[in-house]
Structure 1
Amino acid sequence: MKRKLTVLLLALVVVATTFSDARSYAAHWGLSGDVGVHDPTIIKEGNSWYVFSTGQGIQVLRSDNGTNFYRVPQIFLNAPSWWKNYVPNQTPLDVWAPDVKTYNGKVWLYYSISTFGKNISAIGLASASSVGAGSWKDEGVVLSTNGTQNYNAIDPELVVDANGDPWLAFGSFWSGLKLTKLDKNTMKPTGSLYSIAQRTVNSGAIEAPSITYRNGYYYLFASIDNCCSGVNSTYKIIYGRSQNITGPYVDKNGVSLANNGGTILDSGNTRWKGPGGQDVYNSNVIVRHAYDAEDGGNPKLLISDLVWDSNGWPSY
């Protein structure tokens, strides 16, 4: 009896240890099918997952099991007439860094159009009753830059704060990442513009804000350094947090993200170069692209579970 009890106790220790270890490491989703993306954003509707990304008319992938993806029709087949008024030299139907979220019973799709390397840009908005239903409605321009501002109107991110109020984070290079409150009815800016992150090193390369709220903190994820060069990309994902949505955001060492701070979440590995363009879903899933060194540096979709340590810092 004593021997059986000892064996049982040892078995329980092994099971508990295994369970603890399993909780300490996030799962990287094993993806298959069509996973070619850049600047992905993800949403789940019913049993299906949808990934929207940079590309012709906003590219869309769908998965019915969360791992095998296939391409479905793009959002815009023709450019809304107002695009050319804000970005006259835009490459036709070249749409960047969309963000998709649900709020107040609708699906909201923010996106950007721009001229590469210039802050002559605009953030637009489309809405639908559901992703599956389609029939996207053009809601027009949200905000724009014409080259005279010290920030850039790209890489939008809809954020809902702890009180249920909507905000828009955006920005790339220049003076960094910005945040502005949105009107609940129009889902367009109202009020002040806040600066939440900036870099004065490496040509000020910071973009793609993604903010998630968890346990009293707002966590800001961003991409720094340089994308879009295949295996030579130096993109990295960083993060910081704040008890207020408007900041200040600080990293694990207490350095402000408004002053070159940011703890590195992912700087890539031998195969996956330049990870970035991230989006956090429900504070426990993160998507991003990285350049596949085993496939000519093509950008591909990566999805992982986010885990949080006892001090409230993320990893995967």
Structure 2
Amino acid sequence: MNKKRKWLTSLVLAIGLCVTGAQSAFGAFWNLSGDIVVHDPTIIKEGNTWYTFSTGQGIQLLKSSNGTNWTRANQVFSSPLSWWKTYVPNQSTNDLWAPDIEYFNGRYWLYYSISSFGSNTSAIGLTSTTSITSGNWRDDGLVTRTTSSNNYNAIDPTLTIDKDGNPWLAYGSFWSGLKLTRVDASTMKPTGTLYSIASRPNNGGAVEAPTIIYRNGYYYLFASFDSCCQGVNSTYKIAYGRSVNITGPYVDKNGTSMMNGGGTIMDSGNAVWKGPGHQDVYNNIIIRHAYDATDNGTPKLLINDLNWDAQGWPTY
């Protein structure tokens, strides 16, 4: 259907789009206005309001009444939580990375990353609420962590609901690549086996930011390749593969496994928008940040309608 089945909220929106034709109000590329400065965005809709969470102080938050005009709202955490430094001793600020927001079992679950650039001494945290609008977030603590002795990195989390309604958590950045594990439906924390789903051993491990959706018999894995965070010099790009099983193997259009560096490139940017990546897929739209070459490489929010070709592959 769409990314991670954001359940009742997603279903209501999807039905509304089909019935009213509201999606026709937007072209393939949504024309956004207002405050759209983001990095590593994730999106959801509650009621009539859209929300985009992103990397930054206390987890940055934008909101919109129509999905196109955005304003900045209060950050999620006003100050650092005391337990963060237990697992990431260098965490001396309130700077948090790569959140993911999903609706499941009556709550909005917001996963986020605690780390420092180039390090895999990292942790994934969790906070949740019954209403984003309320601003009342519950601290659900540590989800998982890595240290320098691990060969993977516990950042860039994303919650995925499989076709049978079971929750999974995908995450990872560089090192040995992207990982996937089942999570307990009550605690929303890992239980069971850790699976490897994508790696780039011949490209310096440059893969991160997994996003998994289920559609018409396939699980689709979207990932970001190469380097972010260098403004107009960023080489970030979005790639994808698919599998009949959520645990893989994921293969690209050429049949190359994403565990062996495979991945069909979907978006590598253009003259204006450099280094697009850290994508999120929701209700047949795809969002990501890209660096605006007309504004000194400022990272900004981009939204497109997500389409599918006759062979079932995603396309703008």
Could you state the TM-score of these two structures normalised by the residue count of structure 2?
Answer: 0.91
In the alignment, does 2:208 pair up with 1:198? no
Q: Distance in 2 between matches of 1:138 and 1:112?
A: 14
Paired position in structure 1 for 2:230: 229
Paired position in structure 1 for 2:189: 188
SS in 1 for 2:204: helix
Q: CA deviation at 1:208?
A: 0.3
Q: Distance in 2 between matches of 1:56 and 1:160?
A: 28
Residue deviations 1:218-265 (CA, integer Å, cap 9, x gap): 000000000000000000000000010000000011000000000000
Residue deviations 1:135-193 (CA, integer Å, cap 9, x gap): 00000000001111000000000000000000000000000000000000000000000
The amino acid that maps onto 2:103 is T
Paired position in structure 2 for 1:304: 304
Give yes or no for contact 2:61–2:72 (8 Å, CA) kept in 1: yes
Q: Distance in 1 between matches of 2:193 and 2:37?
A: 37
Q: CA deviation at 1:133?
A: 1.6
Give yes or no for contact 2:85–2:92 (8 Å, CA) kept in 1: no
Could you state the TM-score of these two structures normalised by the residue count of structure 1?
Answer: 0.91
Per the alignment, do residues 198 and 26 of structure 1 end up closer, same or farther by CA in structure 2, a change over 3 Å counting? farther
The amino acid that maps onto 2:307 is V
Q: Distance in 1 between matches of 2:93 and 2:280?
A: 25
Residue deviations 1:80-138 (CA, integer Å, cap 9, x gap): 11100011112401100000000001000000000210100000000000111220000
Paired position in structure 1 for 2:155: 154
TM-align CA RMSD: 1.3
The amino acid that maps onto 2:79 is N
1:221-260 equivalences under 5 Å are: 221-260=222-261
Give yes or no for contact 1:26–1:307 (8 Å, CA) kept in 2: no
Q: Runs of 4+ in structure 1 displaced over 4 angstroms?
A: none
The amino acid that maps onto 1:268 is G
1:63-82 equivalences under 5 Å are: 63-82=64-83
Give yes or no for contact 1:162–1:213 (8 Å, CA) kept in 2: yes
Q: Distance in 1 between matches of 2:174 and 2:302?
A: 24
1:284-295 equivalences under 5 Å are: 284-295=284-295
Q: Distance in 2 between matches of 1:109 and 1:201?
A: 33
Paired position in structure 2 for 1:15: none
Q: Distance in 2 between matches of 1:159 and 1:178?
A: 12
Paired position in structure 1 for 2:146: 145
Give yes or no for contact 2:241–2:258 (8 Å, CA) kept in 1: yes
Residue ranges of structure 2 left out of the alignment (5+ in a row): 1-22
Q: CA deviation at 1:26?
A: 6.4
SS in 2 for 1:231: helix
Paired position in structure 2 for 1:5: none
Give yes or no for contact 1:30–1:67 (8 Å, CA) kept in 2: yes
Q: Distance in 2 between matches of 1:146 and 1:77?
A: 27
Paired position in structure 1 for 2:17: none
Q: Distance in 1 between matches of 2:308 and 2:261?
A: 23
Q: Distance in 2 between matches of 1:188 and 1:97?
A: 18
Paired position in structure 2 for 1:120: 121
The amino acid that maps onto 1:295 is D
Q: CA deviation at 1:201?
A: 2.6
Give yes or no for contact 1:160–1:166 (8 Å, CA) kept in 2: yes
Q: CA deviation at 1:310?
A: 1.1
With CA pairs under 8 Å and 6+ residues apart, which has the higher RCO, 1 or 2?
A: 2
* Residues matched between the structures, number: 293
SS in 1 for 2:86: helix
The amino acid that maps onto 2:294 is E
Residue ranges of structure 1 left out of the alignment (5+ in a row): 1-21
Per the alignment, do residues 26 and 191 of structure 1 end up closer, same or farther by CA in structure 2, a change over 3 Å counting? farther
Q: Distance in 2 between matches of 1:208 and 1:26?
A: 26
Paired position in structure 2 for 1:173: 174
Paired position in structure 2 for 1:33: 34
Percentage of identical aligned residues: 68
Give yes or no for contact 1:26–1:306 (8 Å, CA) kept in 2: no
